[in-house]
Chains A and B, each alone.
Chain A
Amino acid sequence: MTILRQSAPVIFGRKFPKITIDQEKCTVPFLCKKCLQACPIAVFFVERVMAKEKRLEEVDPRIPGNYVVVAERRDRCTMCNRCIDVCPVDAIKIEV
């Protein structure tokens, strides 16, 4: 018996919005954190740049490029554009 513990209907075949973040403009996302805290459904995800050999070192968020923002859950994005309004450097672009 297939045990599907799914509780929210997933609509198949739906095209999710394409979210691109311009890495040149968005350099210190962990300090800025505006889009991360403005998004009503937490689509964005900030993670440190994963250099395997540097995994035992601490990474300083002030240095540009150490942290990067990824639109992890773009299936939940409703394109309300709050992140675009709130971003100080206009690094986010969203297309349908």
Chain B
Amino acid sequence: MTMPRRLPEMVLGRKFPKITIDQEKCTVPFLCKKCLQICPEAVFHVTRVMKYEKRLEEMDPRIDGYFVLHATRRDRCTVCNRCIDVCPVDAIKIEV
């Protein structure tokens, strides 16, 4: 059975918006969580810093740099700029 047909967000040749997150400014994303909860398309994703030797320790979200924000589903981003408006430290930049 051949693969399902492509879906709209997989329109070939479509350029996805480039989302850059300034890690110096955005230090405690898990506590702040403003952009994560405002994005209508749930583009962002917060994970703990993936260090192998630290894998058995609990990570305290209050400590800078233990959690890091990614824009994993940037193909869903509609550049509505809600995250930029809501971010208290202006860490997010989006270029179409």
Binding site for B on A (CB under 8 A): 1-7, 9-14
Contacts and interface: CB of A to CB of B under 8 A. Distances in A.
Nearest to A10: B5
Which range holds the interface residue count of chain B?
10 to 19
B51 interface: no
Contact of B2 (A3, A5, A13): A13
A14 B3 CA distance: 11
Interface string B63-89: 000000000000000000000000000
B1 interface: yes
Nearest to B6: A4
Secondary structure of the A contact surface, majority rule: loop
Interface string B1-33: 110111110011110000000000000000000
Contacts, number: 34
A9 B6 CA distance: 7
A9 B4 CA distance: 5
B55 to A, nearest CB: 37
Given A10-B4, A11-B2, 4 more contacts: A1-B13, A4-B8, A4-B11, A13-B2
Given A13-B2, A14-B1, A1 B7 contact: no
A15 to B, nearest CB: 11
B8 A5 contact: yes
B8 A7 contact: yes
